[in-house]
Structure 1
Amino acid sequence: MLHEKMEQALNEQIKWELWSGYLYLSMGSWFASRGLPGFSAWMRNQAAEELFHAMKMFDFVIERGGRAVLQTVEAPKCEWESPLNVMRSGLTHEGEVTGRINALVDLAQSLKDHASANFLQWFVAEQVEEEASFGDVVAKLEMIGDGGALYMLDKELGARTFVWPANGE
């Protein structure tokens, strides 16, 4: 049985994951409006991952006998100064998500909720990947600036795909 405090915290994180998807869709729209379809596609894939994360938590709450309660998701920011600014914003956001996941692990441990603590380890590992992914693009943008190499990076990022795992892992 899921502890009430854990259920509430996971519901809040579900909202955060959904909002993250909104944020990345907004970023993708910004890129598309500037003729960068590869960056836009990269962000659409990132948004799909966030929806997957939300659904993974949603299912866990229900599986543990809790109730997934959806909350209002606020509109995200929709304007940025440059591609580098967008990606730095994404990297900062992923750092915030990492902090939130770590707080969930701390809560699970304080409640001696071993099932939730174990479940959340997947997200701990995922956040390492998320921060590295954004960090890699930020580093490349810092190297190339807004010059002609931006076109090449756009093509590279456009090759990214996200495939929903068949078994939800």
Structure 2
Amino acid sequence: MKDIARQQLSIQVESMDLLNGQIKMEAHASAAYLAMASWCEQNGFFTSAKFFFQQSDEERGHMMKIFRFLVDAGGNPISPEVTGINHEFSSILDVFESSLEHEIRVTESIKNIVKKARASVDITTERFLDWFILEQVEEENTIRDILDMIELTGMEGVGKQLIDDKVADWIEG
């Protein structure tokens, strides 16, 4: 019976396994952004903390979107264990650079799943991930814009406060 059920999935088993890996990556992102929010709070970057709390919620939403997709497709989503979260940063610049590095890894992971879904003609999974591809363009662009703003503002004197104040431009209301 188990083999018949797995043949009845709306997606292929390989895609399900890759999406479970993506669930774990999104959960890790959510926890990483909470750590970044905490660092910002502890170091007086209160607007940036609010930004990262929002990012954490968004990443959890991404995780749940994939989780629900797997349920709807007859798959077996796995609730991930999250470990290895960095809580130490040297500066607000380090926080945002770490964020960009993470977003790039997430983008590459999603692209990899799309490529494998396309190669195995898993159209359901490929179409589902279209939204995530566009979301990642937006996520990376936001962080790059903030990093550009940090570079223009500078990290000296009141620059740190100006940076934190300006991050409000990227917080969704």
Normalized against structure 2, the TM-score is what? 0.89
What's the CA shift for 1:36?
0.9
- 1:52-131 counterparts in 2 under 5 A? 52-131=61-140
1:166 corresponds to which residue?
Answer: none
Question: Partner of 2:25 in structure 1?
Answer: 16
Aligned to 2:51: 42
How far did residue 152 of structure 1 move?
2.7
TM-score, normalised with respect to structure 1: 0.91
Residue number in structure 2 paired with 1:167: none
Q: Who is 1:138 aligned against?
A: 147
| 8 A Cα contact 2:39 2:88, kept in partner | yes
CA 1:139–1:159 in structure 2 vs 1: closer, same or farther (change >3 Å)? closer
Counterpart residue number, 2:5: none
| 2:154 maps to amino acid | G
Give % identity.
32
Q: Contact (CA 8 Å) 1:45, 1:160: kept in 2 or not?
A: no
Q: Secondary structure at the match of 1:131?
A: helix
Count of aligned positions: 163
Q: 2:160 corresponds to which residue?
A: 150
**Bigger RCO (CA 8 Å, 6+ sep):** 1
Q: Contact between 2:27 and 2:80, CA under 8 Å: does it hold in 1?
A: no
- Which segments of 5 or more consecutive residues in structure 2 lack a partner in the other structure? 1-9
CA contact 2:27–2:82 (8 Å) conserved in 1: yes
